[in-house]
């Protein structure tokens, strides 16, 4: 187990090195620089040049890169040009928002997706299966921003169940937090429910055809016992992979939904950074997302070993 983990962590560092290089290099492919957003159009070339010098943008690329690596090795993601504060602080401030949104969405998606998948598999080719599969296809196909807007129109504007947007920290007002998080989390979860339900169904159907299910049947166990003790634990192994992908997508990919519901999460921070060419925010944000993805994947690997004893040996 320790060796398995050590190998995984070593691998994660290689990936991080590559990502940091790419997130540094990628901004050179985008035209424009932060001076355009910082100064107005009447700025003289001298003013622009002075700002570029202050920001270190007039240095050769290699120096800028070494500078960037020197800083991130000290845990410093740099200073945001536009926000005029440290990128680390800006990310950490928004992290609880992104985490709660992703956490609630993932929980909803897993509960609904796994149960729907089981119902479909147990009723294979009968009407509950068809209903679940149709709903799952709908969930996968509907654009999330559209669904978000529709939910706002229906549940916030027309019926006033939830606020139209914004975010209340849980430390301030737990009920208000729940109120603010339910709709965006639901919107995010809908797509993932479809994904997880289809995966659970396929995996469960495969498991139910295995010999050991027949063995369980020969033991005289009830159908429920067979499903819960023999079917589900085996079917969940591939579902775990999907859950990892979903968690990664939710943590890094809630950008559009954060925009729709005006939630100040990490995704919105990065989008803002990209639009204003705020290089440190882009670079730091991307690196941060990569760390999150790697962390989730590592957690999934560890969970594998917990769910499937065969993994431990490898």
Partner 1 sequence: MARPILEVKGLTTTLAGGTITILEDVSFGLQPGEVLGVVGESGSGKSMLALSVMGLLPKAVRRTAGRIVLDGEDLAALSPDRWRERRGSDLAMIFQEPMTALNPVMRVGDQVAEVLRRQGIPAKKARQETINLFRKVEIPSPEQRVRGYPHELSGGMRQRVMIAIALAANPKVLIADEPTTALDVTVQAQILDLLRKLQKERGLSLVFITHDLGVIAEIADRVLVLYAGRVAEIAPVRKIFDNPQHPYTRALLASIPEIDRPRGRLVTIEGAVPSIGAMPKGCRYASRCPFRRDICEQESPRLGLVSSDQAAACVQPFGFEKPQEEALA
In the bound state with partner 1, the residue whose beta carbon lies nearer, of 227 and 270, is: 227
CB of 227 to partner 1, least distance (A): 13
Contact residues toward partner 1 (CB under 8 A) are 210-212, 214-222, 229-230, 233-234, 237, 307-310, 313
Tokens 């996968």, located at residue: 140
In the bound state with partner 1, the residue whose beta carbon lies nearer, of 15 and 305, is: 305
CB of 296 to partner 1, least distance (A): 23
CB of 129 to partner 1, least distance (A): 15
The CA distances from residue 28 to 22, 57, 63, 200, in Å, are 10, 11, 14, 43
In the bound state with partner 1, the residue whose beta carbon lies nearer, of 237 and 291, is: 237
CB of 311 to partner 1, least distance (A): 10
CB of 65 to partner 1, least distance (A): 48
In the bound state with partner 1, the residue whose beta carbon lies nearer, of 54 and 217, is: 217
In the bound state with partner 1, the residue whose beta carbon lies nearer, of 160 and 211, is: 211
φ, ψ of residue 161 to 5 degrees: the values are -75, -40
In the bound state with partner 1, the residue whose beta carbon lies nearer, of 81 and 199, is: 199
CB of 107 to partner 1, least distance (A): 23
In the bound state with partner 1, the residue whose beta carbon lies nearer, of 130 and 222, is: 222
Q: Tell me which residue of 16, 102, 32 sits closest to 283, measured CA to CA.
A: 16
Q: Tell me which residue of 40, 44, 68, 74 sits closest to 55, measured CA to CA.
A: 68
DSSP per-residue letters across the chain: -HHHHHHHHHHHHHHHHHHHHHHHHGGGGSS--THHHHS-TT--HHHHHHHHHHHTTTS-HHHHHHHHHHHHHTT---B-TTT-SBHHHHHHHHHHHHHHHHHHHHHHHHHHHHHHHHHHHHTTTSHHHHHHHHHHHHHHHS-HHHHHHHHIIIIIIIS-SS-SS----TTT-HHHHHHHHHHHHHHHHHHHHHHHHHHHHHHHHHHHTSHHHHHHHHTT--HHHIIIIIIHHHHHHHHHHHHHHHHHHHHHS-HHHHHHTT---HHHHHHHHHHTT-HHHHHHHHHHHHHHHHHHHHHHHHHHHHH-GGGGG-
CB of 3 to partner 1, least distance (A): 19
In the bound state with partner 1, the residue whose beta carbon lies nearer, of 85 and 214, is: 214
CB of 105 to partner 1, least distance (A): 28
């Amino acid at each position: 187990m320790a060796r398995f983990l050590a190998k995984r962590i070593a691998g994660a560092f290689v990936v991080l090195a590559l990502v940091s290089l790419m997130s540094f290099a990628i901004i050179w492919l985008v035209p424009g620089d932060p001076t355009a957003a910082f100064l107005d159009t009447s700025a003289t070339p001298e003013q622009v040049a002075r700002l570029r010098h202050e920001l270190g943008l007039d240095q050769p690329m290699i120096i800028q890169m070494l500078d960037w690596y020197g800083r991130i090795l000290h845990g410093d993601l740099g200073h945001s040009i536009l926000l005029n504060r440290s990128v680390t602080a800006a990310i950490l401030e928004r992290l609880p928002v992104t985490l709660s949104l992703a956490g609630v969405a993932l929980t909803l998606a897993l509960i609904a997706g796994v149960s729907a998948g089981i119902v479909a598999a147990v009723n294979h080719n009968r009407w509950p299966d068809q209903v679940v599969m149709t709903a799952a296809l709908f969930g996968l196909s509907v654009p999330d921003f559209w669904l978000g807007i529709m939910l706002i129109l229906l549940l916030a504007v027309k019926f006033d169940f939830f606020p139209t947007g914004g975010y209340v920290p849980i430390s301030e007002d737990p009920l208000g937090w729940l109120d603010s998080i339910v709709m965006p989390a639901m919107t995010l979860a809908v797509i993932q429910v479809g994904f997880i339900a289809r995966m659970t169904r396929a995996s469960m159907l495969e498991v139910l055809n295995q010999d050991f299910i027949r063995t369980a049947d020969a033991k005289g166990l009830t159908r429920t016992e067979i499903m819960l003790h023999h079917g589900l634990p085996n079917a969940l192994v591939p579902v775990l992979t999907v859950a990892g992908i979903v968690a990664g997508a939710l943590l890094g990919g809630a950008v559009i939904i954060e925009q729709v519901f005006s939630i100040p999460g990490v995704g919105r921070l990065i989008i803002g950074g990209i639009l204003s060419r705020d290089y440190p925010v882009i670079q730091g944000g991307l690196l941060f997302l990569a760390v999150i993805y790697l962390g989730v994947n590592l957690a999934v690997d560890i969970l594998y070993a917990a769910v499937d004893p065969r993994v431990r040996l490898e």
